[in-house]
Amino acid sequence: MSTAHINAAIKGEIAESILLPGDPLRAKFIAETFLDSPRCYNEIRGMLGFTGTYKGVPVSVQGSGMGMPSMGIYSYELISEYGVQNLIRVGSAGSFHEDIKLMDIVVGLSASTDSAWQRTYNVPGHFAPCCDYDLLIKVKEASDKENIPIRAGNIVSCDVFYEDDPEWWKSWAKMGVMGVEMEAAALYMNAARLGAKALAMVTISDHFVTGGRLTAEEREKSFTDMMKLALEAVVA
């Protein structure tokens, strides 16, 4: 039953709960670091996917790529073809505020966007993409239990990485938007349309105020606190 982008042969190869890092190498790192007996079910386009167990519960982790079109493809196929019910993005983001620092974990209660993604649903207005409340509560409970602090609020999913106007982010910042990433809004809209639960968690890797930036290796391997919270939430 493989799709154009995922070659898992049968529905049961992918768990009902899944973590979605953008980077497929981060998916491999999560699987090898946290999961028991992980097995690779997808290698199409190098977008690695694994299934194993965490504390005895089946969990999958799948690279989702960069940008809303890529996240949209993988999340849609995972939900509609493989029956995935709980999807947690574990990604990176850029902070718009000095007090939201590098390596801080931010949970997207909602995901503003400059994308025209919602037009496909013919909604007669502006749809407000938001996270699933149950997953949010489970992440908060895991945060308290593990003593790993989180921030929560509005994030923005943007289509363009290299914006033409260097001051573009300040318009979002003045509205209290915490930071920018490129996938959450598509994930939230697909989940809403298809009846699944979704949550986006991001670790701050870039800072628009201070100019700070993590390395590529740090983005791949240092987000272990966020990964831990996501896994605790999906097995709670």
132-165, pLDDT tens digit by residue?
Answer: 999 999 999 999 999 999 999 999 999 999 999 9
pLDDT beyond 90 at 21: yes
pLDDT value, residue 91? 96
What is residue 1's predicted lDDT score, i.e. its pLDDT?
66
What value does the mean pLDDT of the chain take?
96
| Of 227, 233, 55, 204, nearest in space to 133 by CA | 233
Cα dist. 62→14, 27, 48, 49, 146 in Å?
Answer: 9, 6, 6, 4, 24
In tens, the pLDDT along 33-66 reads: 999 999 999 999 999 999 999 999 999 999 999 9
**CB 179, CB 204: distance < 8 Å:** yes
Any idea which residue has 């768990």 for tokens?
15
pLDDT digits (tens, 9 = 90+) for 98-124: 999 999 999 999 999 999 999 999 999
User: Which of 23, 104, 206, 225 is flagged as catalytic?
Assistant: 206
pLDDT for 86 equals 98
| Residues 208, 98: Cα–Cα separation, whole Å | 8
Is residue 11 very low, low, confident or very high in pLDDT (cuts 50, 70, 90)? confident
Residue with tokens 């709960």: 17
Between CA 198 and CA 204, with CA 148 as vertex, the angle to 5 degrees is 65
Confirm whether pTM is higher than 0.85. yes
pLDDT at 2 over 90: no
> Exposed (0-12), middle (13-18) or buried (19+): which is 162, by Cβ within 10 Å?
exposed
Instruction: Give pLDDT tens digits for 166-199.
Output: 999 999 999 999 999 999 999 999 999 999 999 9
Q: What is the DSSP letter of 120?
A: G
The stretch 78-85 carries a mean pLDDT of 96
CATH number of 11-235: 3.40.50.1580
Is 206 a residue of the active site?
yes
Q: What residue segments make up the domains of the chain, in order of their start?
A: 11-235
Distance CA 210, CA 233 (A): 32
Phi first, then psi: give them for residue 47, nearest 5 degrees. -90, 85
Task: Give the Cα separation of 124 and 129 in Å (integer).
Answer: 15
pLDDT at 10 over 80: no
Residue 194 has which token pair? 């298809």
